[in-house]
């Protein structure tokens, strides 16, 4: 069975601090923006070269707190700021499903 990314399925999730990876490419980021890093990586845990999947590791500065958050995605085409917005919207939907009222930007 082919991996989902070969079918056009992609994801955005959080990357654990303890995850080992190798940087394959560093993409340029605009100075002064909330995007701190945009890298193409492969996970160190994957030893089979036939199963290697290139991921993007995107580090952003939070607006509300003096912290950073790291996302990973298998989407290599969208802008880093778009990936960050997708994760933010995903988080808001998750919060709303826990009983909080949040307006979703998703339209039918």
Predicted confidence (pLDDT) per residue in 50-78, tens digit: 777 889 999 999 877 888 889 899 999 99
Average the pLDDT over 5-12 and give the result.
Answer: 74
pTM of the model: 0.73
* pLDDT > 70: percent of the chain: 73
Residue spans of beta strands (DSSP E) within the chain: 12-14, 21-26, 35-43, 55-61, 68-73
Task: Sort strands 35-43 and 55-61 into parallel, antiparallel or unpaired.
Answer: antiparallel
Predicted confidence (pLDDT) per residue in 77-101, tens digit: 999 999 888 887 766 544 444 444 4
Asked whether the beta carbons of 60 and 68 are under 8 A apart, the reply is yes
Domain boundaries, the chain: 4-96
pLDDT score, position 35: 93
């Amino acid at each position: 069975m082919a991996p989902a990314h070969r079918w056009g399925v992609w994801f955005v999730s959080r990357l654990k601090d303890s995850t080992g990876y190798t940087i394959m490419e560093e993409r340029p980021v605009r100075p002064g923006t909330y995007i701190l890093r945009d890298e193409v990586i492969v996970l160190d845990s994957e030893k089979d070269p036939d199963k290697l999947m290139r991921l993007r590791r995107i580090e952003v500065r939070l607006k509300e707190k003096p912290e950073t958050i790291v996302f990973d995605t298998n989407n290599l085409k969208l802008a880093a700021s778009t990936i960050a917005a997708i994760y933010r919207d995903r988080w808001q939907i998750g919060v709303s499903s826990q009983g909080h009222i949040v307006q979703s930007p998703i339209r039918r």
